[in-house]
Amino acid sequence: MDLEELQHGGASSSHSGIDIGVVPNTNIYSVLGGQVIFTGFSGAGGFTITIHSNEFDISYCHVSPNYIVSVGDIVNPNTIIGFVGPKYVENVPNNPYHDSTGKPTNGATTGPHLHLTIKKDGIAVNPLNYFNLN
């Protein structure tokens, strides 16, 4: 399966990265060590954690809003940085994302999952190229 096949499960054509279907509260581990540069609600990505590591920015989207890392924290590779968030979220000012019943969602999502985007020098790359899948 290539990146294009992975990125179009009902997502917009501008969707980059991969979606990993898991249940809420599943541990999220840092792909690389680095510094946390963002925690917050980020549009279609919902609640997001972004870590900067040399030429890479790694964004973990649709996470739990109960952050266990903060902006400025330094994390090591394979460190738990958060948890997969719920589909529905409350109390997000001006959240434009809702399901067909009108309930507010954790960004543009149809269910709980982790969306992982890796950017190298500001350009989205295929995250699968950075994992040892053997």
| β-strand pairing of 47-53 with 56-61 | antiparallel
Q: How far apart are CA 75 and CA 95, in angstroms?
A: 29
Q: How far apart are CA 1 and CA 19, in angstroms?
A: 13
- Per domain, the residue ranges of the chain are 3-129
The DSSP line for 11-26 is --TT--SEEE---TT-
Q: What is the pLDDT along the chain (134 residues), one digit of tens a residue?
A: 333 333 333 444 456 899 999 999 999 999 999 999 999 999 999 999 999 999 999 999 999 999 999 999 999 999 999 999 999 999 999 999 999 999 999 999 999 999 999 999 999 999 888 776 55
According to the model, what pLDDT value does residue 133 have? Answer: 56
According to the model, what pLDDT value does residue 112 have? Answer: 95
Predicted structure pTM score:
0.87
Report, at the CATH architecture level, how domain 3-129 is classified: Distorted Sandwich (2.70)
